[in-house]
Structure 1
Amino acid sequence: MDVSVKFLGGAGAVTGSKYLIDTGEFEFLLDCGLFQGPRELRRRNWDPFPMPLGELEAVVLTHAHLDHIGYLPKLVKQGFKGPIYCTEPTAELAKILLLDSGKLQEEEAEYAKKKGFSRHENPEPLYTMEDAEAVFPLLSPQPFESAFFIHPKIKVNFYHAGHILGAAIVKVTLIGENQTKRLVFSGDLGRYHDPILFPPTRIPKADVLWIESTYGDRKSTTQKPEDELARAIRDIFDRNGLAIIPSFAVGRTQLIMYHLYQLMEKGKIPKAPIFLDSPMAIDTTKLYLDYHSFHRLSAMLEEENEHAFNHPHLHYFQKQEQSVSLNNFQGRGIIISASGMATGGRILHHLFHHLPEEKNGIILVGYQAEGTRGRRLLEGEPSVRIYGYEIPVKAKIYSIEGLSAHADQEELMDWAEGFCENPKRVFVIHGEKESAEALAFQLKDKLQWKNVLIPQYLESHILFEGI
């Protein structure tokens, strides 16, 4: 059989991961993500799917972030009815994230209609909450490290990738008449010394490798990011200010909660109220309690009376009125809210009300994509636009890269060195131009990998002929 790949996203950009694999007998999608960030990227979400959906027979997911799963409701809405394979935690996280995404799509369409800034007379959402729910019956959870077949000649294994709860490196084994070929998709790789998640599994062999490059051009200078977090919070508290942390609801928030609890218990920061103002993050945190075997906090969570996700200083705010009550909060406190790049969600209310005060601090704890408010704050712009108003940035901005859920360049290279044989072809994906080029250079220069490519959107490549 001849095998090809078409890059429907996650190529030349960090978001929209979709890789269409065609074996001639079976076509499946590896990841099914939304494009996020700049408008020209987001517009791709509205393009017709580039193949008849009747020909697509399955989807395999690496993890539950929206740039890897967020297109699923539209795919199903357009007629896809096949199985969607993922790990058990990914299936549960997908339900939480897709419902929230559907709700946001509905709200954005309604807001555009109300304000009249859409070019369409009656703007429609990309998909609805009902469309998101239609995905759930198709989810097919699979265990880590146990092989399963998506076709008699296609075997799949999930291995721990770190990054977020349930995230997987995917190995696809193609069983041909003459030979067997291994396709390995890194997904998004996590940190090797993450206190919560297992490190990325080293894979010994791959004929073709897809490796992410989100942080392919940078090295973390911080060995202990929790110390930087403590310094930022002490600095803000010294001004009697409020620390506001835009944080991804899945993964990053739980890591921040863990560090804050440890820092308070060790006396490295003053004890102060922590407000987790994100219904999605609250629902996600509950999954950490349900899936003990998928992370490293089992011993901590066995302490029934008090732990990182349940202690006297931690307040879960589910209701909107609870969130609004923080608009006028004064004094020392910590607000954790989504979204992590300040593109939407409740964090916008907190930035709207607290950015203009010099005593406050905004702590950025993860990757800030081009075109997002988070990136504009990171780059020191004097104001950001929120709800149609230019809000002056008077609060102090802090950035702590070491808290990212993404492996940095050294960790990506460390993982790549785990291959016993050089992959015959390597696609550097899921990165902006500079980061992809930097990682590609390192792979060729230090590991002597020969066939390293940086694919672009909608490119197609023949992987094998007649296997």
Structure 2
Amino acid sequence: MTSPTLSFLGGAGTVTGSRFAVSTGESDVLVDAGLYQGLAELRRRNWHPSDLDPAALDAVVLTHAHLDHCGYLPHLVREGFTGPIRCTPETAELVEIVLRDSAHLQEEDARLANERGYSKHRPALPLYDLGDVERTLPLLAPVAYESRVDLAPDITGLLTPAGHILGSSCALLDVAGHRIVFSGDLGRGNHPLIRPAGPRPAASTVVVESTYGDRHHEPADPELLASAVRRTVARGGSVLIPAFAVDRTELVLIELHRLMSTGQIPRVRVHLDSPMALAALAVYRRAFAGARRSGPDLRTAIGELHLEAVADAAASIRLNQPTEPCIIISASGMATGGRVVHHLAHQLPDPRNCVVLTGYQAVGTRGRQLLDGARELKIHGRYVPVRAEVVDVPTFSVHADADELMAWLCSAPSAPDVVYVVHGEPQSSAALARRIRTDLGWLAVVPRLDERVRLD
């Protein structure tokens, strides 16, 4: 009898591109199908052929709807995958938005690269297109939390809350008698809208993320954002906030409403310039409609901010040169693509303006370059000077830090046989693995890309 195996096809040695394959010899299931982002070296991996045969996959399990966990799906379908994609209902709604936006941006980037000649490829092509996305969406097969589902004849799965974004989950798989749990991306327990992650399911094998595996979140300092807005408005500039379209935008809107309603920042126009973020916001509003909550109300925040939705490209172009101080929220959160890139090109050269970074910035992204103090940024083949103020507001992060990851690992009644530490930059994954070994005495391994291990 063939031993069941786990293969690390992505998310190993980097914080993007999560893909983990489970095989029994008879069945094959993929957990997450994420795009690589950031460094060109990483992005090129999206094009690399894999030993995995998409046509032979029985199913895909998604932990959540962020691009680095779901953005590779249409390419799998293009290469022959036809099985079910299991995820929560909320994740299915958000994935539809994320994938359509991803295909649109890839097609647009390829078009611009061909027109302006700044790509090395002739012609530049998208990894997948909208047609591939439309063939992917019917495969989404939602399943409720805590509902066991057959993924293959000898593999079953169950999703539990992860507390990261709407619909996010941990994935527990029973694989030919062996139990393995994938953390997905874990939240922090203090999200104003999302229920926190539950205890870690008992399993002999644990695959845990390590985005913040080497650091701790500092106590929230709301004055960071408030003072940045006040300074910028006082000098006649505008605040540009690159924000992830899914979840981060909602958190930023709630905080801006709080700061304006308490008089900590002036009431200026707030523009949401991202079709994807607007669509995701509608999903969040439906999810919490009628919910009795003691915390912040998303609908109230949107209404009292008099949020201005920027739906068409012409209105977005006009925002490149605001006529008065304002706040612009636009995707993507790490400035890897989308309308925010055009805004950066126009607003970075003006010292009156301010760019507020609101979350994790992966190595190789424009957001990380700004965070590291870059004085120029390459955008659409040209270098742009960075004269605007850049402010990092890390308290918006919805990733568990090192202590919170350890607490989740310890929340099960029994220790696992092994913990595989993934989805982190090398120093972050190494630090978390070292702490697991030292503090808990458990076997902890940082796997290599394409490494395969036995589960028995």
Residue 175 of structure 2 aligns with which residue? 174
Name the CA distance, whole Å, in 1 between partners of 2:289 and 2:454.
39
- Pairs aligned (count): 455
> 1:119 Cα shift?
3.9
Conserved 8 A contact 2:36-2:45:
yes
The residue type paired with residue 172 of structure 2 is K
Residue 192 of structure 2 aligns with which residue? 195
The residue type paired with residue 262 of structure 2 is K
Conserved 8 A contact 2:55-2:79:
no
Residue 452 of structure 1 aligns with which residue? 444
Alignment of 1:23-172 (within 5 A): 23-172=24-173
1:251 aligns with 2:247: yes
> 1:407 Cα shift?
1.1
Residue 422 of structure 1 aligns with which residue? 415
Alignment of 1:273-312 (within 5 A): 273-292=269-288, 301=297, 307-312=300-305
Name the CA distance, whole Å, in 1 between partners of 2:66 and 2:38.
14
Residue 217 of structure 1 aligns with which residue? 214
The residue type paired with residue 263 of structure 2 is G
The residue type paired with residue 87 of structure 1 is T
> 1:294 Cα shift?
12
Conserved 8 A contact 1:165-1:295:
no
Conserved 8 A contact 1:17-1:34:
yes
3-state SS in 2 of match to 1:311 = helix
Per-residue CA distance 1:269-309 (angstroms, 9 max, x = gap): 2211110001100000000122228998697559xxx6123
Q: Give the 3 Å change call, closer, same or farther, for CA 85–293 of structure 1 in structure 2.
A: farther
> 1:25 Cα shift?
2.3
Residue 225 of structure 2 aligns with which residue? 229
Residue 262 of structure 2 aligns with which residue? 266
Provide the alpha-carbon RMSD of the alignment: 1.9
Conserved 8 A contact 2:181-2:201:
no
Conserved 8 A contact 2:169-2:184:
yes
Q: Give the 3 Å change call, closer, same or farther, for CA 443–296 of structure 1 in structure 2.
A: farther
Alignment of 1:363-382 (within 5 A): 363-382=356-375
Query: More displaced, 127-136 or 143-152?
Result: 143-152
The residue type paired with residue 63 of structure 2 is T
Identity within the alignment, %: 45
Instruction: Please report the TM-score for the alignment, with normalisation by the length of structure 1.
Output: 0.93
Per-residue CA distance 1:347-394 (angstroms, 9 max, x = gap): 112111111121211110011111111111111111111222221111
Per-residue CA distance 1:29-56 (angstroms, 9 max, x = gap): 0001111111111111111232333321
Given candidates 433, 439, 451, the residue that maps to 1:440 is 433
Residue 357 of structure 1 aligns with which residue? 350
Conserved 8 A contact 2:173-2:180:
yes
Name the CA distance, whole Å, in 2 between partners of 1:343 and 1:452.
32
The residue type paired with residue 396 of structure 2 is L
Per-residue CA distance 1:43-78 (angstroms, 9 max, x = gap): 111112323333211100100111111111010011
Given candidates 312, 316, 320, the residue that maps to 1:319 is 312
Name the CA distance, whole Å, in 2 between partners of 1:459 and 1:118.
32
Conserved 8 A contact 1:165-1:294:
no
Name the CA distance, whole Å, in 1 between partners of 2:142 and 2:67.
18
The residue type paired with residue 224 of structure 1 is A
Conserved 8 A contact 1:272-1:313:
no
Residue 202 of structure 2 aligns with which residue? 205
Instruction: Please report the TM-score for the alignment, with normalisation by the length of structure 2.
Output: 0.95
Name the CA distance, whole Å, in 1 between partners of 2:52 and 2:153.
23
Unpaired stretches in structure 1, ≥5 consecutive residues: none
Q: Give the 3 Å change call, closer, same or farther, for CA 54–358 of structure 1 in structure 2.
A: closer
Per-residue CA distance 1:167-198 (angstroms, 9 max, x = gap): 1011112353xxxx321100001111111212
Given candidates 341, 347, 361, the residue that maps to 1:348 is 341
Name the CA distance, whole Å, in 2 between partners of 1:236 and 1:88.
41
Residue 385 of structure 1 aligns with which residue? 378
Name the CA distance, whole Å, in 1 between partners of 2:86 and 2:292.
24
> 1:321 Cα shift?
1.2
Per-residue CA distance 1:1-31 (angstroms, 9 max, x = gap): 6210111100011111110100122111000
Conserved 8 A contact 1:197-1:296:
no
> After TM superposition, which residue ranges in structure 1, 4 or more long, deviate above 4 angstroms?
293-302
The residue type paired with residue 11 of structure 1 is A
Unpaired stretches in structure 2, ≥5 consecutive residues: none
Q: Give the 3 Å change call, closer, same or farther, for CA 118–361 of structure 1 in structure 2.
A: closer
Q: Give the 3 Å change call, closer, same or farther, for CA 164–146 of structure 1 in structure 2.
A: same
Conserved 8 A contact 2:348-2:388:
yes
Name the CA distance, whole Å, in 1 between partners of 2:231 and 2:405.
33
Query: More displaced, 347-356 or 282-291?
Result: 347-356
3-state SS in 2 of match to 1:309 = helix
Q: Give the 3 Å change call, closer, same or farther, for CA 116–159 of structure 1 in structure 2.
A: same
Residue 395 of structure 1 aligns with which residue? 388
Q: Give the 3 Å change call, closer, same or farther, for CA 156–298 of structure 1 in structure 2.
A: farther
> 1:403 Cα shift?
0.8
Per-residue CA distance 1:205-226 (angstroms, 9 max, x = gap): 12100000011111111x2243
3-state SS in 2 of match to 1:310 = helix
